[in-house]
Chain A
């Protein structure tokens, strides 16, 4: 009987070896795969077991941190300045992230392969694991001014400010905004209720208007039309063009007029220099220039400035600014003055000015200054400014700059009110008042793009206020306010 027993012992041994091998397979080799399965709520809760890294501004203000609240989801996200930075930080909710929280998730959680060595050291030295700190390019002064001035208008809109030399985003505010703390709650039903409230809000607070929505650029697009014209080499700001009070659009019954039907400039005979037309923002002059250049030339220049690009990431994705090829002269004329099918993000507005401020070279906008290990403070990743391209030559850039300065300095300029807004600092800008709605029945959007430098610091700003009316009235004061806040603190 012992022979049978020994054979049974071997069978039993095989059974146990199979069980042990299977446990090894499941818990050591297959564990990662199982953790990634949809509906695995344990893997999901694990995200909240470690302290997530902080998000700070360039000047060290903490705008997102994690606090230990105990429970299954140990760490809850806290946004001390809430709505002001919400369009940038986004939120870290139970089921999803947005904004920087999503784009930099692997650094913030500490899961990035660049942090693997640190995690092993922490495990061995029994230190609690903490995600890396993400330092943004935002300047808290500029951001604060942008947010509070936007809020004061009570209208929806957005402000984006760039460092023209690097592309670093210095301010990015959107109004109305939301409090991301409401989406960081760890109680599922509470989160759902807060989320539904925000989703149903007619003011659409979750939309990041700075990079996620597009608006007609209006007359600010004349920067692009001028760029296309001067780049041809046969015109400059002093070139005289046809600028009639009323322009009959070809193959159309429509008439284009200047603002309030004004006469453009003082030359008379329906003529004006380009700089005068730019300074007073004469629509008919630029409609004529656009028709002469043709839609393909305009589109090519618009694309050099960054339009029609669906892939821009800062690292959060940016909505595409649009300039489609127009089918006929009438629509080309309208597209040349920033109407018809043209739409841009406020970020794109800032990029127009930044290009001119940077002698014609457009830098890629970015939000992340550097990523720092939370434990030993070593730099894990840092920004390396790169050019997106050179839309215009330095010569053309200086010609456009001359015209943008004129908009502010000339007594007839559309932004003449801001001539001495910042003592000792020359502002260059372009206003836009974009018509809206069916048959242009909606309130006009106020648009302003500008740049300035105090020799030490420089900044380009784009502002769009929906239904704000004249660009100079609603958008320009905010842009100038942000410039002032930034330049006077540096």
Chain B
């Protein structure tokens, strides 16, 4: 481990990315883009008020000022703690988080103050305030991660600690009684007092960190080829161990917590990181085949999983649209009624879709902002993923490379699973929509993910240290 780090240090110190363009911090770009994000969110918030009542929403000034102050503090922290970080990540995440606050406010107003509609599960009258508090906690964690983790490679030391943390977080809801852990047939949360925590949101990050550390240490062994079958180099049988363990854990998740979405996410994350580490296509195939076989078996064995497939394939058959597929179908109706340009914020009927504030929040945007707005939101996510992958390509240290690639892919996969699910591209599995879903755990975990990507991009874009004395240039050896 130390030898790898040293060689990368030499490369980093002696070889800037491109001598022609000295990297710049680009914090002013970030500030400008943040202003743009704030303007967009403020406009959207005002739009809700006009859509509902034809006037500015009450309390808008306070909420927007709080939002601006939080972002300004985060931006200042980045200037100090990660001056070379990617300038787009913070504004992109801020825009999505702001739109999430806007939609929370819009849905909070349903059936309140003379506004039309009834929510299947109404939001509390202080939901918007709570969402801003969660935003504050999220940005606090964002700053804390940047402050505590000054070098990405430090995280590599805690490979097994993160692994244990992840397993505890995942196992907790399954072990706790259903009364405080079950939601809609899936055991995925912990209810404490009035608040609920979804530990899997944090387990995802711990797992990514643990996988990255493990794979950096073992990637050479895992790269060794065993037999060659049909032009594919299969790994040695004894190296299959870790893949099988993760597969087993994800299947256990499926069985005991009935949580297909998260299970797919973990499996995808691991296989992707394994592929980045070893570059072996065989691992992709093995992972994919194992997951599909496991999911297929589960769909045959467990009613909960099988029903998801039926809903996906035949939402309009028989009385499905009024029973099992009701939520999916209502979401589709919402998007259809939004059409190309949308009903306008506050002017649609997203409340007709049950629990629209969590898994189905994307359909609410589709209804009120239309195809145009929804595509813009998808592109915002796409840009975050692209910045993450670009960071992964440009960063030199293998641990950072695997971690950045894994985190970016996990975010992409999560968007694909939830947006694809509610738009009936793939079977629906309940996972949160990062930044947009109402609720705290997902938002805080998403901000931690952005902080990690910021830290990694800071490491990737940091210029080489200036020589202290003029001793002549060090001999350059390109290792990558």
Contact = CB atoms under 8 A, between A and B. Distances in A.
Interface of A: 1-9, 12, 15-16, 18-20, 22-24, 26-28, 30-35, 37, 39-43, 45-46, 71-72
Contact of B322 (A22, A26, A27, A39): A39
B176 to A, nearest CB: 34
Given A4-B275, A28-B371, A23 B378 contact: yes
Q: Chain A interface secondary structure, helix, strand, loop or mixed?
A: helix
Nearest to B404: A5
B405 A26 contact: no
A94 B131 CA distance: 37
Interface stretch (B192-200, B255-263, B334-342, B434-442): B334-342
A23 B369 CA distance: 12
Given A4-B276, A8-B276, A28-B340, A18 B321 contact: no
Contacts of A42: 333-334, 336-337, 348-349, 352, 367
Interface stretch (B164-172, B239-247, B417-425): B417-425
A27 B420 contact: no
B276 A19 contact: no
Nearest to B372: A27
B279 interface: yes
Contact of A72 (B116, B334, B366, B423): B116
A7 B283 CA distance: 14
Interface of B: 116-117, 272, 275-277, 279, 316, 321-322, 329, 332-340, 348-349, 352, 366-367, 370-371, 374-375, 378, 381-382, 385-386, 389, 392-393, 398, 401-402, 405, 408-409, 412-413, 415-416, 419-420, 423-425
Given A12-B412, A19-B416, A19-B420, A27 B116 contact: no
Nearest to A2: B393
Given A1-B276, A16-B412, A8 B389 contact: yes
B416 A1 contact: no
Contact of B423 (A3, A22, A39): A22
A363 B351 CA distance: 53
A364 to B, nearest CB: 40
Contacts of A23: 335, 366, 371, 374-375, 378, 423
A418 to B, nearest CB: 58
B425 A8 contact: no
Nearest to A71: B116
A22 B339 contact: no
B352 A5 contact: no
A27 B425 contact: no
13 contacts: A1-B277, A15-B412, A19-B425, A20-B378, A23-B366, A31-B336, A31-B337, A35-B337, A41-B349, A41-B352, A42-B337, A43-B336, A72-B349
Contact of A1 (B333, B398, B424): B398
Contacts of B316: 37
A26 B423 contact: yes
A24 B371 contact: yes
A239 to B, nearest CB: 69
A76 to B, nearest CB: 14
A39 B321 contact: yes
A111 B337 CA distance: 16
Given A34-B336, A40-B333, A27 B366 contact: yes
Given A8-B405, A20-B378, A23-B423, A34 B339 contact: no
Contacts of A22: 420, 423-425
A28 B339 contact: yes
A72 B405 CA distance: 46
A48 B226 CA distance: 68
A247 B139 CA distance: 104
B393 A34 contact: no
Nearest to A42: B337
A18 B413 CA distance: 12
A28 B372 CA distance: 10
B382 A27 contact: no
Given A15-B416, A16-B416, A19-B420, 8 more contacts: A8-B272, A12-B385, A20-B378, A26-B336, A37-B321, A41-B333, A42-B336, A43-B337
Nearest to A33: B336
Q: Top 3 nearest A-B pairs by Cβ distance?
A: A34-B336, A27-B371, A42-B337
A72 B114 CA distance: 11
B389 A9 contact: yes
A8 B337 contact: no
Contacts of B374: 23, 27
A24 to B, nearest CB: 6
Contacts of B416: 15-16, 18-19
Residue of A7, A8, A72 contacting most chain B CB atoms (<10 Å) = A8
Contacts of A19: 378, 415-416, 419-420, 423, 425
A390 to B, nearest CB: 52
B401 A18 contact: no
A244 B302 CA distance: 89
Given A22-B420, A45-B349, A27 B378 contact: no
Given A5-B276, A12-B409, A72 B117 contact: yes
Contact of B402 (A1, A12, A35, A37): A1
A43 B349 CA distance: 10
A220 B276 CA distance: 95
Contacts of B381: 16
A27 B389 contact: no
A95 to B, nearest CB: 16
B339 A1 contact: no
B333 A34 contact: yes
Contact of B409 (A8, A24, A32): A8
A247 to B, nearest CB: 63
B368 to A, nearest CB: 12
B332 A34 contact: yes
Contact of B279 (A4, A16, A18, A45): A4
Contact of B389 (A12, A28, A45): A12
Nearest to B423: A22
